[in-house]
Amino acid sequence: MARYIASLFVGFSLFLGVSSFAEDYVAPRLSGTDKPDLNGVWQALNSANYNIEMHTASHSMQLREGPHGPLPAVKTLYLGAVGSVPPGLGVVKEGNIPYTEEALAKRDENKANWIDRDPEIKCFLPGIPRANYMPQPFQIFHNPSAVFFAYQYAGAVREVYMDDPGEAPVDSWMGWSAGSWDGDTFVVEVTGQYADTWFDRAGNHHSDQMKVTERFTPMSPNHLMYEATIEDPQTFTEPWTISMPLYRRMEENAQLMEFRCVEFVEELMYGQWRRNPLPR
């Protein structure tokens, strides 16, 4: 018992120390500016890509095997632990997403048909904010006049315009990003995204009227606090926010690798039109 109490005391002391350090932390400045240097390779370490709301571990995801390979349906395969969903505390600050009644029903339908509908499975670009918490790293390139994000997943990229670019000329998968500074916090407003992007594999969705306001705040030499506030009156009854730390990748020569997932899904998407189907 004494050892247990001592461990709790040490842990609590460390927590207080880390919290105090984060509050007092002053990030290194980008050369030639008074702004924090955001350059680096970053990654979220959570299960938000499975479900941004709090969730328990669940049974294996199912692949349904048909005449042209996986999908559409005939036979159900269970992948055991390989395809299981890990538990997660959730990243929605309010706890639950404030859906309208109609949008909640659509979310439930999406979730039940996830394996057919999730744009990630088809290698479509993930959109914002999902691109920032997929289980793959991304890199921020930051100089005095520009900020650019490159994502390992599917080679996705986005430029953040530091001068007001006006409204998005067209909608796109990764949207239209306009940046500004609020003290040491980098703020990005993202509009003009397709409604086809999801927040996660649980079917959480939005409309093409969504506005995302991101906030990147340096909290230590090797982590940023990331928040994204979601506004979409067509889908939600009020704005809501996700929050999570992003961690710097510390490996020697940390860099993005190539992940051209299109080649992994070509048969899934187009195999049914082969003149001679591949052998099963």
Q: Where are the domains of the chain?
A: 29-55+90-273
pTM equals 0.84
Question: What is the distance between the alpha carbons of residues 102 and 205, in angstroms, rounded to a whole number?
Answer: 12
Whether domain 29-55+90-273 has CATH 3.10.450.50: no
**pLDDT greater at residue 197 or residue 278:** 197
pLDDT at 68 (0 to 100): 43
pLDDT band at 17 (very low <50, low <70, confident <90, very high): low
When mean pLDDT is compared over 13-22, 75-84, 136-145, the highest value belongs to 136-145
Q: Which DSSP category does 152 fall into?
A: S
Q: What is the pLDDT of residues 224-275, one digit of tens each?
A: 999 999 999 999 999 999 999 999 999 999 999 998 887 666 666 556 666 7
Share of the chain above pLDDT 70, in %: 79
Question: What is the distance between the alpha carbons of residues 129 and 91, in angstroms, rounded to a whole number?
Answer: 12
Neighbours of 212 (CB within 10 A): 21
Q: Where does residue 264 rank: exposed (0-12), middle (13-18), buried (19+ CB within 10 A)?
A: exposed
Question: What is the distance between the alpha carbons of residues 85 and 40, in angstroms, rounded to a whole number?
Answer: 29
pLDDT at 207 (0 to 100): 98
Question: What is the distance between the alpha carbons of residues 276 and 49, in angstroms, rounded to a whole number?
Answer: 36
Question: What is the distance between the alpha carbons of residues 117 and 50, in angstroms, rounded to a whole number?
Answer: 14
Q: What is the pLDDT of residues 179-212, one digit of tens each?
A: 999 999 999 999 999 999 999 999 999 999 999 9
User: 189, 213 in Cβ contact below 8 A?
Assistant: yes
- Where do we find the tokens 């709301």? 53
Q: What is the pLDDT of residues 140-160, one digit of tens each?
A: 999 999 999 999 999 999 999
